[in-house]
Structure 1
Amino acid sequence: MRLDIKGLSLSGKTVIVIEDDPTLRTLLVEILSELGAACAAFNNAEDALITMLGLKNECSLIIVDHGVPGSIQGMEFISMAHERWPGLPAILTSGYQLDASQVTPPVIYLFKPWSIDQLADAICKALNVASVDRDK
Structure 2
Amino acid sequence: MEFGTKGLSLIGMKVLVLEDDQTLRTLMSDIIRELGADCATFDNADDALIELLEQHGSFSLAIADHGLPGSIKGMEFLSMIQQKWPDLPCIFTSGFNLDTDGLDPRTIFLFKPWALEQLIDAIGQALSR
- Which of the five TM-score ranges fits, normalised by the shorter chain? over 0.9
1:55 aligns with 2:55: yes
- What is the aligned-residue identity percentage? 56
Gapped regions of structure 1 (runs ≥ 5): 130-136
Contact 1:3 1:35 in 2 (8 A): no
Larger relative helix fraction: 1
Under a length normalisation based on structure 1, what TM-score does the superposition of the two structures give?
0.90
In the alignment, the residues of structure 2 paired with residue 73 and residue 8 of structure 1 have an alpha-carbon distance, to the nearest angstrom, of 29
How far did 1:57 drift? 3.9
Gapped regions of structure 2 (runs ≥ 5): none
In the alignment, the residues of structure 1 paired with residue 120 and residue 4 of structure 2 have an alpha-carbon distance, to the nearest angstrom, of 11
| Aligned structure 1 segments of 4 or more residues deviating by more than 4 angstroms | none
**RMSD of aligned residue pairs (Cα, Å):** 1.1
In the alignment, the residues of structure 2 paired with residue 28 and residue 100 of structure 1 have an alpha-carbon distance, to the nearest angstrom, of 22
Under a length normalisation based on structure 2, what TM-score does the superposition of the two structures give?
0.95
Q: Which residue of 1 aligns with 2:121?
A: 121
Matching residue's letter, 2:26: T
1:6 aligns with 2:6: yes
In the alignment, the residues of structure 2 paired with residue 49 and residue 100 of structure 1 have an alpha-carbon distance, to the nearest angstrom, of 21
Aligned pairs for 1:93-108 (under 5 A) are 93-108=93-108
Count how many residue pairs are aligned between Structure 1 and Structure 2: 129
